[in-house]
Structure 1
């Protein structure tokens, strides 16, 4: 079984959920007897792929960034991918992003496309030009021999919005990456407050930080020992700080950019992980919080109940005061915290990259042989 992956996500993303997921799948498939991973490119900007031992890929023109670097790399790698598709030395082509310009090169060989979310289609009002976010997605879904959805909720959205036959869509959940788990005793390269709530990733738009900021600020104002640490998502903007300034607790609002090992430490030492997003295709931070023994407080929207089950507590983002009530319980109820930590550690065992690779291989082998 020869599985060809294109460069797309590895040429445009240094770090991030989608590239991490494909890098994990590549690593799993490379370890399988009888499976050959075909990567017709050797230069990327993606750390997740470059970190794999024994994989002959390297960085492109140094570690620094300059205008047009991604476009230059993408143009170079795309030519190599097109050549490999033309040669036909593969059994399945699995796209890493949405490049409809490669459809005509398949010549009857099966293509698989992964859909990670349907946010632009579901919430076009929050994107400046939603039609330009994933312009090739619909055409690729129509042309694909099979479509992978990362959750049953994403599958349902895809079927409803695109009118796709459900039988063509396979649900393959993500797994937990090895470097996402903190090893007790391993020192972190960062200093964090003694007691803090944790938010991870982007905060803008449907990520809904603005929708809960005033409630979080009010909670910090009542609890002088409590801080809020935001990891990733870029520097805090003035409008994000404003509710905390008004509540007199802005000095206890922090932003950090952390490598995976230190992020795992941050989960493991947080009083709770807060995920206020209005929509996610899967929600990898849920698994990371579970694996590190961090109680998870989640929005009750989209796929969160599917992924977390009873191992988290939920609030309604339409009524932000419900977040305060849930957090008060998690912070003060020792028995609840113990239950959430134990249930989370059990729940995360159901999500592995080995299981994801098993499902993908089974899917590849069911596809019709090339013409």
Structure 2
């Protein structure tokens, strides 16, 4: 039986999020497979996807003792170091890019690269961010690299000169909820009429939100009943509030901190989901929208075309006219909307969770065989 160790990093940093969900899927898969056993190097976590994981202090007492995030991170790292030095595993899969483990680890390790955004768009990030260097060190020392898209694999080869034989492309699998339980019913009401457009996630920098909002303004002003709902990404920053006010869209643009259940409802009832990013490593919200029969409108960047193929209406992300024209075409053409929904369902079938997990386990097995 293969013994896998997943370290603490993403589960110490994220309560929700795509990276922690990815690694939680690996852990849950190992629970039901007979040929693999996994351990996660955490004492305690507030991560939703591992809330029932039997870590030593993953209980009410542990959450009280380690209620400060910095303290929880520190003790989880110590526990991961202890497990790595104990050397009682076959494969290490660090859950983020801190290379602290390099001087302790004696076994093969796999690193998953989710994107090359920091390398592609350094102008959008803190120049003192150590994780760019950390990431490079992990990539250089890894026994095998998992890239979550062909686009990310190409970036690894072009930017860091990584040999193609060190990279395995494994697309994300889709699964809205990791276990059978759903989050509690939403406390705040979610709109149930299709009178809004949906934006999901972070809005900073390369996400291209200011250009997108500016492009959408004529459409919103023409139809005062049409709304733009931004799910997640935190409350609007001062600059965003000022921009919304300057465009006199205070009554039409809003932000919701959505649970998985709320997000599903938002997708299901939206006129369309719009993804205007300049770059992404994969684009999981596209699959979420496909699953909820929500038409997708997105930037014509390589990763989105790889994932969505002809099930997405594409625009040029730096061209406001292109954004506006494409959105108008989709929301005003019922046949086009229905065609995108149908193609989206077919496209979603290409990304089953089982396939993602089986390919990941195959990477582990090749390293130990």
Normalised to the residue count of structure 2, the TM-score between the two structures is 0.91
Q: Which residue of 1 aligns with 2:348?
A: 348
Aligned to 1:87: 86
Shift of 1:282: 0.7
Alignment of 1:276-287 (within 5 A): 276-287=276-287
User: What is the alpha-carbon distance in structure 2 between the residues aligned to residue 230 and residue 63 of structure 1?
Assistant: 33
The within-5 A match list for 1:100-111 is 100-107=99-106, 109-111=107-109
CA distance in 1, matches of 2:57, 2:201: 27
**CA 1:71–1:35: 2 relative to 1, 3 Å:** same
Superposed CA offset, 1:236-287 (max 9, x none)? 2343244544444320111101110110000000000010111111111000
Residue 225 of structure 1 and its aligned partner are, at CA, apart by 2.2
After superposition, give the CA deviation of every residue in 1:45-87 in whole Å (9 maximum; x if it has no partner): 21111156x7777268548997xx2221122122221221122
Q: Does the CA-based 8 Å contact 1:50-1:57 persist in structure 2?
A: no
**Could you tell which deviates more after superposition, 345-354 or 334-343?**
345-354
**For 2:133, what is the secondary structure of its paired residue?**
coil
- Pair 1:121-2:119 in alignment: yes
Query: What residue ranges of structure 1 are gaps of 5+ in the alignment?
Result: 181-185
Tell me the residue number matched to 1:230: 230
Q: CA deviation at 1:106?
A: 2.1
1:139 corresponds to 2:133: no
* 1:180-214, Cα deviation, whole Å (9 max, x unpaired): 9xxxxx98652327300000001111111011111
Return the alpha-carbon distance in structure 2 between the equivalents of residues 338 and 59 of structure 1: 47
Aligned equivalents of 1:204, 1:43: Cα separation in 2: 30
1:183 maps to none
Q: Is the Cα–Cα contact under 8 Å of residues 207 and 278 in structure 1 kept in the other structure?
A: yes
Task: Give the aligned partner of residue 267 of structure 1.
Answer: 267
Residue 132 of structure 1, CA deviation: 2.0
* Mean CA deviation greater in 327-336 or 81-90: 81-90
Q: Distance in 1 between matches of 2:66 and 2:317?
A: 38
Q: Distance in 2 between matches of 1:208 and 1:63?
A: 39
Q: What pairs up with 1:171-320 in 2 under 5 angstroms? A: 171-179=169-177, 189=187, 190-192=189-191, 194=193, 195-320=195-320
1:101 deviation in Å?
Answer: 1.8
Distance 1:332 1:112, change over 3 A: same
Which position in structure 2 is the counterpart of 1:5?
Answer: 6
2:236 aligns to what SS in structure 1?
Answer: coil
Q: 1:241 to 1:131 in 2, by over 3 A?
A: closer
Partner of 2:154: 156
Asked if 1 retains the 8 angstrom alpha-carbon contact of 2:43 and 2:79, the reply is no
CA contact (8 A) 1:10 1:19 kept: yes
Instruction: Report how far residue 368 of structure 1 moved.
Output: 4.4
Structure 1 Cα separation of the partners of residues 311 and 292 of structure 2: 13
**RMSD of aligned alpha carbons:** 2.3
CA contact 1:212–1:320 (8 Å) conserved in 2: yes
Runs of 4+ with >6 A deviation = 54-57, 63-66
Give, in angstroms, the shift of residue 131 of structure 1.
4.3
2-side partners of 1:161 and 1:168: how far apart? 15
Could you tell me which runs of 5 or more consecutive residues in structure 2 were left unpaired when the two chains were aligned: 179-183
- Specify the alignment match of 2:27 in structure 1: 26
Distance across 1 between alignment mates of 2:273 and 2:66? 32
- 3-state SS in 1 of match to 2:210: helix
